[in-house]
Amino acid sequence: MPSLTIDHRTVPFEPGETLLQVAARTGIAIPTLCHYPGIESPTSCFVCVVKICGRGALAPSCATRAEEGMVVESDTEEVRLFRRKALELLMSEHAGDCEAPCTRVCPADLDISAMARHVFDGDLERAVRTVRERLALPGVLGYICPAPCEKGCRRSAADGAVSIRALHRGVAEAEYAAGTPALTARPASGKRVAVVGAGPAGLSCAYYLARLGHACVVFDGQEAPGGLLRYGIDRAALPAEVLDRDIEEIRRLGVAFRMGETVADQNALDGLARSFDAVVLATGTPVSGQPWPWGLRTAGPCVAVETGTFASSRSGVFACGGVIAVCRMASRAVGQGRLAALSAHRFLTADAAVPPTASARSDSRLGKLEPEELRQLVETDLASRGAGGKNGGPFPAALVAAAGRCLQCDCGKKQSCALRAYAREYGVDRDRYRTGSRKPAARTRCADRLMVESGKCIDCGRCVGIAAADHLRPGVTFCNRGFDVAVKVPFGADMEVALGAELDRCIAACPVGALWNWKRQDGTR
């Protein structure tokens, strides 16, 4: 059997195999956007290039056949630089939002589009799951959050923002009315964590630590948990029973509270560090002019922490909320509490999962929409699609109607988008090749269930290849040349009809979410 060398490994190959196939079989991951099993590789993305020693130009591995004695390099600086440029060119032509603008400005990073879909479909379980993935205090924030998300809502420029705060408040109320517990905790990890402070940051941190399976004890000098939520807010603005319900859910997960106990000096912190596997400081904003008493490195009046991990200068001690910076919104403190819990969890378990604050620099963003673009979005909101809208379910009709106004601005494939993943991996500058203009952000609803967002299309050719391989008529094809190339249906036919029996396969194959099924009954896209 013939063989070649790839990344200093000699491997055999079958005649006719491409370098991409050989690499995959060897366990070497080469990025690709246009290659798809069962179709001829269109070599349109050039993200899969490799260096073949002895040849001048880089070669697309998806279309280059393996040859005896080849010496291939798949991960050199030259190769990575070329791939990054190819990705940046694709991003410059990609007109879509990875995350909805409302989610981008939400201090707690709530997936607002998903929440609205589940409310509109009357799916209480998924709505609760989505809300509580980010909001440990959904009822509280439903009353007091200043709702910066609503200021970021795209629909506000048309006929008023979606009532986002009312949505997660309604989900919280429906959850309590149903009397069913929210998310359960993982099996016990055997680790113990002390959280100092029972305000919004501390409560949130304890909630997520408990859900991750860690035994958690909250220490606070007040008589009852809540911090400023209990002692600094008018009860007319936040009813005590709402705060108590959210705290009771935290207790239900096994979190213990030791009220009337402060951690006021270095000796007290040392004691916690000896008794617990990790400590999280969440005591709120420091008293003006008074330094922290714990012997940690500070930055001005605040405890200094490592960006993205919330780790202090002492191993095993983390800090969040007002301890590290002034938090004027409870939603921001809640968001930081969750991230600090994830960092403490990684410290306790050596979990190498995604960092708690992954950079969004490489995410695609549309910016301001033109009037025609906004009009198309409004015409394809949840309510206009004729699906969902289940009144008489767990949510009141007014809340379902509010959810129906959501424009679903995020990408339906944001969790699995290959372009987004590669852009982050290669440190792409999404604006490097922007010329000041972009493709229109168009959204077209087809015959029955297909939504086409042509602005997102990167002309990878997967759907074209699938249609050709299955001999579909009329199928889809490339039209125009150069920068004006686009995937279209011949004779202006409906794309859903044109893709016929291969529709679902084409939706699954699209690497960027330019094609999606708006009738999915499970609330996903």
CATH 3.50.50.60 boundaries in the chain: 192-349
* Dihedral angle computed from the Cα positions of residues 173, 178, 183 and 187, in that order, rounded to the nearest 10 degrees: 140
Question: CA 257: distance to chain centroid?
Answer: 32
Q: Is the pTM of this model over 0.75?
A: yes
| Whether pLDDT at 478 is above 90 | no
The tens digit of pLDDT for each residue in 407-429 reads 999 998 998 999 999 999 999 99
Q: What is the DSSP letter of 445?
A: E
Of 14-23, 70-79, 110-119, 477-486, the poorest mean pLDDT is in: 477-486
| Fold classification of 192-349 (topology level) | FAD/NAD(P)-binding domain (3.50.50)
For the segment 306-343, what is each residue's pLDDT rounded down to a tens digit?
998 999 999 999 999 999 988 889 999 999 999 999 99
Task: Determine contact, residues 118/408, Cβ cutoff 8 Å.
Answer: no
User: Taking a C-beta distance cutoff of 8 angstroms, is the pair 502, 471 a contact?
Assistant: no
CATH architecture classification, 3-75: Roll (3.10)
Q: What are phi and psi of 302, to 5 degrees?
A: -115, 155
Q: Which H/E stretch holds residue 421?
A: helix 418-425
pLDDT value of position 391: 64
Q: Is the pLDDT of residue 354 over 50?
A: no
Question: CATH 3.10.20.740: which residues of the chain?
Answer: 3-75
Which part of the chain is CATH 1.10.1060.10?
101-181+376-404
Residue 525 has pLDDT above 80, yes or no: no
Q: Given this model, what pLDDT does residue 316 score?
A: 96
DSSP-assigned letter for residue 212: T
CATH class of 419-517: alpha beta
Top-confidence residue, 493 or 143: 143
pLDDT digit string, tens, across residues 211-256: 999 999 999 999 999 999 999 999 999 999 999 999 999 999 999 9
The whole-chain average pLDDT of the chain stands at 91
Residue 182 has a pLDDT of 62
Listed in sequence order, the DSSP H helices in 14-147 are: 19-26, 77-92, 101-105, 112-120, 124-132, 138-144
The answer, yes or no, to whether residue 347 has pLDDT greater than 60, is: yes
Question: What's the pLDDT score for residue 356?
Answer: 43
On the question of pLDDT at 388 being above 70, the answer is no
Q: What is the pLDDT of residues 80-100, one digit of tens each?
A: 999 999 999 999 989 999 999
Burial class (CB in 10 A: 0-12, 13-18, 19+), 5: middle
pLDDT at 355 over 70: no
Task: Quickly name the fold that domain 101-181+376-404 has.
Answer: Fumarate Reductase Iron-sulfur Protein; Chain B, domain 2 (1.10.1060)
pLDDT greater than 60 at residue 521: no
CB 460 within 8 A of CB 33: yes
pLDDT digits (tens, 9 = 90+) for 136-169: 999 999 999 999 999 999 999 999 999 999 999 9
Which has more confidence, 203 or 355? Answer: 203
Residue 484: predicted pLDDT: 79
Kindly give, in sequence order, each residue whose CB lies less than 8 Å from that of residue 23, ignoring residues fewer than 6 positions away: 6, 29, 30, 50, 61, 72, 74
